[in-house]
Structure 1
Amino acid sequence: MDFRQLTYFMGVASELHFSKASEKMFIAQPALSRQIQQLEKELGVLLFERDKRNVKLTPAGEYLSNEAQKILSQLDHIKHRTQLIHNGEEGEIRIGHPGSAIYSVIPPLLSALKLFFPNIKTNLSEMLDSSVIEALKKHEIDVAFIRELHPDKYLTSKVVFREPFALILPESHAINENNFESLAQVKNDNFILPPRNSSSVYHDLLLRICEREGFLPNVVHESNYGATILKLVEHNLGVSVMPISYKFSSAIKVKFIEIKNVPERTNLSIIWRKDDTNPVLKHFLKVSDSLDFSDGHLLK
């Protein structure tokens, strides 16, 4: 019993008329009859009761009709899903990202992806910039958001979001949006920053901003994770400078003051393997291209 025989059988079972079934399936009636006879012979049962006027299913034919309908429906489903997966309209994409990206580009991007490709599943992993390149090369993720780019012949990237920095202060700090003028006002404060060896370009950028204001920050605590830095600031253990998108994080009691008098911005780029064969990736990138990640205040 094969797929073709089941299809012919279901054609006759639905019409209960050999001539009509043969016309619908574009097969000569004698050939259709032979297919049914071969199926009956193979199964050793009678599937149809026939006379000159009527054709009806036997009990065995009724059972086969019910079961065959399930099988054919499942095959149609498999065929449809196979096509979706081949076209990248169904599947999974694994995304690496820094903590701040969840407060800026990721929510609108995933919302748009769900709207256009509801069968695509996303797997998110928060990771450091220093871990992203290795994870991509090991095929542990398919795409990532990264702040510090490292030239690599196997990878390609594009900048998708630029945002200003903010001064992060405990709620009790004397400086606020009304009296803030420059970072020089916190030159005597303790700072909480990411360590230099984890993201040297990003770290050096923060130092350059401070140097322009005439001081080097007194770093008393270091952390790679934004949520940790925010919590330390909340507990009055120092101040920090971070991407302003962290303003939209959980309800931590700190003050965010945008640093407007500096030209530096922090970039967020998408990076992926040049030879990636995951068909979902092309749709992910296409959706990201369609969104307007405006400079600075995406979620404001």
Structure 2
Amino acid sequence: MNERDWHILKVLHEHRNITKTAQSLYISQPSLTKRIQQMEKEFNLKIVERGTRGVQFTPQGEYLAICADEMLIRLRQIKETASNMGQEISGTLRLGVSNYITLHKLPGLLKIFRERFPKVDFHVTTGWSKEVLDLIYKEEVHVGIVRGDYQWSGSRHHLFEETICIASKEEIDVRNLPFLPRIDYGTDALLKTMIDNWWRDNFSGPPLVGMEVDKGDTCKEMVRNGLGYGILPSVLLEKDQNLRQMDLKDKQGNPLIRNTWMLYHGKSLELKLVKEFVEFVKGVDFMRDI
């Protein structure tokens, strides 16, 4: 079996559906079915069976699907190690990056790095910070950038910190928050927990949520138009002088802080490409340079 075959098994195991797998791999269903049959012939066993609930993996097929992840990682490591033997900084840098960083910081960061090393390609996966953390654990990315103080036993570098703010169009009294419309938005679990804990420490009842939107940027736009208040990270508000901002504070009167980190496995620095990128990021002031 070649790398393509292992990738087919991985994707098929995720979708459990021939049609969706074929669409995801941009191949025809007959070609996919034929390739699976060839794998079964090579191993002399049944890998999958079709049923009313889609594709069902046999016990042997389940084992091969688990091996697919290991094989793909190993094949990628072999390619990276071989490329690393050359003198030139080249290859594909695999990054996992939180949504905010992807939108507001990453394009400028990669532009500068590409100018220094023009033969470098990027494979970027974005998502919530917890999802990015999982990618780093599984070694599916070389470097991750996450927001929040997640537990991590590998190497890390602090990028910047921010406060968490109440943002509103007009000045408001914090004591009146339970009676004012709040605009909630999708965010990662750590920030949500931080906000919920602050609320429980200060109010006995739930907030009056008047609107739920997809992300913090959308929430800010709703707040700018006077549709309610939002509780947002300060980096989303630093360039908007038209909004009133108040830091959330703990019982001791200290502002609540959210940190952003670069995370990676120490052994990844054996790859010259990764080492160059890590050192490059360490030299960047995220609040000024990008």
TM range (shorter): 0.5 to 0.7
The aligned amino acid for 2:263 is I
The aligned amino acid for 1:292 is D
The aligned amino acid for 1:284 is F
Using the alignment, how far apart are the partners of 2:110 and 2:90 within structure 1?
A: 14
Using the alignment, how far apart are the partners of 1:286 and 1:109 within structure 2?
A: 13
The aligned amino acid for 2:236 is Y
What TM-score, normalized by structure 2, do the two folds share? 0.55
Q: 1:238 Cα shift?
A: 4.4
Q: 1:159 Cα shift?
A: 1.8
The aligned amino acid for 2:281 is S
Q: Provide the residue aligned with 2:281 in structure 1.
A: 288
* 8 Å contact from structure 1 (residues 109, 287) kept in 2: no
TM-aligned CA distance change 1:231 to 1:260, over 3 Å: closer
Q: Provide the residue aligned with 2:245 in structure 1.
A: 258
Using the alignment, how far apart are the partners of 1:299 and 1:103 within structure 2?
A: 15
TM-aligned CA distance change 1:106 to 1:168, over 3 Å: same
TM-aligned CA distance change 1:261 to 1:299, over 3 Å: farther
* 8 Å contact from structure 2 (residues 98, 126) kept in 1: yes
**Which one has more relative contact order, counting CA pairs under 8 Å at least 6 apart?**
1
* 8 Å contact from structure 2 (residues 133, 146) kept in 1: no
Using the alignment, how far apart are the partners of 1:101 and 1:206 within structure 2?
A: 20
The aligned amino acid for 1:193 is D
Q: 1:202 Cα shift?
A: 1.5
For 1:162-181, what aligned pairs fall within 5 Å after superposition? 162-169=161-168, 173=169, 175=170, 179=171
SS at 1:282 equivalent: helix
The reply on whether 1:206 has 2:195 as its aligned counterpart is: yes
Using the alignment, how far apart are the partners of 2:85 and 2:208 within structure 1?
A: 53
Using the alignment, how far apart are the partners of 1:275 and 1:224 within structure 2?
A: 37
What TM-score, normalized by structure 1, do the two folds share? 0.53
Q: 1:256 Cα shift?
A: 3.9
Q: Unaligned stretches of 5+ in structure 1?
A: 1-81
* 8 Å contact from structure 2 (residues 183, 209) kept in 1: yes
Using the alignment, how far apart are the partners of 2:128 and 2:284 within structure 1?
A: 25
Q: Matched residues, percent identical?
A: 15
- Superposition RMSD in Å: 3.8
Q: 1:88 Cα shift?
A: 6.5
* 8 Å contact from structure 1 (residues 194, 203) kept in 2: no
Q: Name the count of aligned residue pairs.
A: 202
